[in-house]
Amino acid sequence: MAVEVKSLNEECGVFGIWNDKNAAQLTYFGLHALQHRGQEGAGIVTLQKDGRMKRQRGLGLLADVFKDPESIDKLDGHSAIGHVRYGTSGSRGIENIQPLVFHYVDKDFAMAHNGNLTNAVTLRKKLEDDGAYFQSNSDTEVLMHLIKRQEQPTFEKQLIDALQVIQGGFAYLILTKKCLYAALDPNGFRPMVIGQMKNGVYVVASETCALDAIGARFVRDVLPGELIKIDDNGYEVLHFTKKTQLSICSMEFIYFARPDSSIYGVNVYQARQRMGMQVAKENSLDVDIVVGVPNSALPAATGVAQVLGVPDEMGLIKNQYSARTFIQPTQSLREKGVKMKLAALEAVVKGKRVCLVDDSIVRGTTSKYIINLLKEAGATEVHVLIASPPLKFPCFYGIDIEKTQELMAANMTVGQMRHQIGADSLHFLSLEGLVDAVGLKQDAPNEGLCVAYFNGDYPTPLYDYEEKYEAPKTLEDHKLSAVKGERNA
């Protein structure tokens, strides 16, 4: 097996807490609220009184990893960090499940990571030449090796130096004997927030929904380039760099984050609703009903319905048990297998002109299938509104977006796409419409949003990825400014 250094650091969720007697259980609740950010594996590490760490981790959902009701109780200790991990095919198994714990003769460290380093391969090779070896494929271990090699008198100073060496998107939690650190990359590609419980205890999480889940109030977003230090005295804001410029991932608003989370003050549900309103305004349609693809596109569908002035109906039913099915249908039954996830509601769509709303189109196969499902159920027309612009460029900052050649919009015009998926019409939200609908209003390009998926303007150089980067076919003359290193954050 070739080492795929980069395959494992995709979209994830992190949670940390300092000094609460229910540390492990609260981390469990926090991670549970973040489960949508990763279902491949989960883990919790607690800090013991003697400075040693205890860990439980495993493959699968949080509920699988902690299915023994006593497993949480065994994780005693007053501080903890936890991690849920997104499933990717190239994973090597349990050794990559975070948090990672690093044992030394006289102390332990634990680390959890959401994001993707763009210079990890280069750094890893350099570290191995210097005597390091790796137990996992994760960027977490790269950072740990870097920290230990910085010539600085304290761990904190080593950490600050090491954070200046890594590139890309990252949101790290680091638990030590003395404190809990949270570090965010200079572009703030990934979300991370600080909360406080009624008893004064501070927590850090990927999304605000995890704060709500444990009854903590929102304190502030972690900002680009910050290193937050939480200890018994409260929290302190350090900076490992001042050269920062916000470009948070627009896919968090479009698809990833939970609707009840807010990022930089913007509620995700309402942002999606506005995306729906905007795409409907940009594309006037004459239809009978609006149907959103459950569950992700339902907020946008309410916005569409409001603008179009027609009913928002539940024309598609999602089987809530389909996530955990391992049975693969044989070739001849594949179509039936797909029906396990979605069903069209004939009584609702029969004889209707349907406006189908989805959040995005990646490969297009699902769209084609859904449109077919609606037509089989008797829909006379299916017009598709996508509440985001066409996805043409891959992500290198922590989201496992398909390769360029597999992105439908990187290889086809909108007209070709419409034909391919069998829609009567197909419309996307404009890039400006997206930026307006999110409404971050930050003093930064695209109001602080990374929209590289849509226009290829990567906010940073791509480092290790420059070589394998491929421009979309439909944009063969696309000038990849970032790749050439002309811009930097």
Residues numbered 419-438 forming contacts with its own copies, rule: CB under 8 A: none
Q: Which stretch binds its own copies (CB under 8 A): 142-150, 162-170, 222-230, 449-457?
A: 142-150
Q: Considering beta carbons, is residue 245 or 267 the nearer one to its own copies? A: 267
Selected binder of its own copies within 89, 105, 331, 351 (CB under 8 A): 105
Report the C-alpha gap between 365 and 228 in whole angstroms: 43
Nearest approach in angstroms of CB 347 to its own copies is: 3
Q: Is 42 in the site for its own copies (CB under 8 A)?
A: no
Q: Exactly one of 19, 25, 91, 460 binds its own copies (CB under 8 A); which one?
A: 25
Among 145, 352, 375, 392, binds its own copies (CB under 8 A): 145
Query: Candidates 8-16, 141-149, 175-183, 361-369 — which segment interacts with its own copies by CB under 8 A?
Result: 141-149
Which residues, at least 6 apart from 411, have a Cβ–Cβ distance to it below 8 Å? 405, 472, 473, 474
**What x/- string results for residues 53 through 82 when contact with its own copies is judged by CB under 8 A?**
-x------xxxx-xxxx-xx----------
Chosen residue from 152, 236, 243, 295 binding its own copies by CB under 8 A: 295
What minimum distance in Å lies between the beta carbon of 462 and its own copies? 19
CA 167 to CA 169: how far, in whole Å?
Answer: 7
326 scored as a contact of its own copies (CB under 8 A): yes
Establish if 33 lies at the interface with its own copies (CB under 8 A).
yes
| 450 labelled catalytic | no
What is the rounded distance in angstroms from the CA atom of residue 450 to the CA atom of residue 115? 14
Whether 144 and 109 have beta carbons less than 8 Å apart is answered as yes
The single residue among 152, 234, 333, 479 that binds its own copies, judged by CB under 8 A, is 333
Q: Which of 22, 196, 366, 420 forms a contact with its own copies (CB under 8 A)?
A: 22
Among residues 482, 460, 472, which one has the least CA distance to residue 169?
Answer: 460
- For its own copies, the binding residue among 298, 399, 401, 440 (CB under 8 A) is 298
User: What is the DSSP annotation of 265-329?
Assistant: TEEHHHHHHHHHHHHHHHS----SEEEEPTTTTHHHHHHHHHHHTS-EE--EEE-TTGGG--PPP
By CB atoms closer than 10 A (0-12, 13-18, 19+), residue 75 is: buried
Contact 311, 335 (CB under 8 A): no
Q: Does 378 bind its own copies (CB under 8 A)?
A: no
The residues in 236-255 that bind its own copies, with binding defined as CB under 8 A, are none
| Residue 335 DSSP SS3 | helix
Angle, CA of 77, 80 and 83, to the nearest 5°: 145
Per DSSP, what are the bridge partners of residue 100? 111
What is the rounded distance in angstroms from the CA atom of residue 57 to the CA atom of residue 135?
15
Nearer to its own copies, 149 or 487 (CB): 149
The piece of 177-185, 321-329, 401-409, 431-439 that touches its own copies (CB under 8 A) is 321-329
Catalytic residues: 12
